[in-house]
Amino acid sequence: MSELTLKANIDRPDDFYADLLAAHEGLPKAQSDALNARLILVLANQVGDREVLKDALAAAKQAMHRDPARS
């Protein structure tokens, strides 16, 4: 593990996206938020590498939409 991949890397992205939505299907917001938090931690453990995790946090922050109407 060395660098964060920001190129397309997910096998069959439409299927993954559908799985993600299905996992949240019917959950109240609090449980959805909790599920997301657990998912982040599980994935972070899979990555393991602290540098890659830092880069991932930075990439996620960089893509934050600045439109005040959405904040």
Partner 1 sequence: MTKIFETPLYPYERSADQDAAEPVRHPVVVIGAGPIGLAAAIDLARHDVPVVILDENDKVSWGSRAICFAKRPLEILDRLGCGQEMVDKGVQWNLGKVFFGDRKVYDFNLLPEEGHHRPAFINLQQYYFEEYLVNRARALEAEGKPIDLRGGSKVTAVEAKDDGVLLTVETPDGPYRIAADWVIACDGAGSPVRSMMGLDFVGRVFEDNFLIADVVMEAGFPTERWFWFDPPFNKGQSALLHKQPDNVWRIDLQLGWDIDKEKEKKPENVIPRLKAMLGEDAKFELEWVSIYTFQCRRMEKFRHGRVIFAGDAAHQVSPFGARGANSGLQDTDNLIWKLKLVMEGKAPETLLDSYDAERVHAADENILNSSRSTDFITPKSDQSRIFRDAVLDLAEHFEFARPIVNSGRLSVPATYDGSPLNGPDVAGMPDRTRPGAPAVDAPIGNGWLLSRLGDRFQLMTIDADAPDRIDVEGIEVERLELSTNDDPSGALAERYLGDAQAGIYLMRPDQHVAARWTKFNEAELRSAVNTATGALSNRVETPD
Position among 33, 57, 58, 59 found at the interface with partner 1 (CB under 8 A):
33
List the one residue out of 57, 29, 64, 30 whose CA is nearest residue 43.
Answer: 57
Position among 17, 27, 38, 57 found at the interface with partner 1 (CB under 8 A):
38
Q: Within the chain, where are the H helices?
A: 13-24, 29-47, 50-62
Position among 41, 43, 57, 60 found at the interface with partner 1 (CB under 8 A):
41
State whether residue 48 is helix, strand or coil: coil
57 contributes a contact to partner 1 by CB under 8 A = no
Number of residues that make up the chain: 71
Residues interacting with partner 1, by CB under 8 A? 33-34, 37-38, 40-42, 45
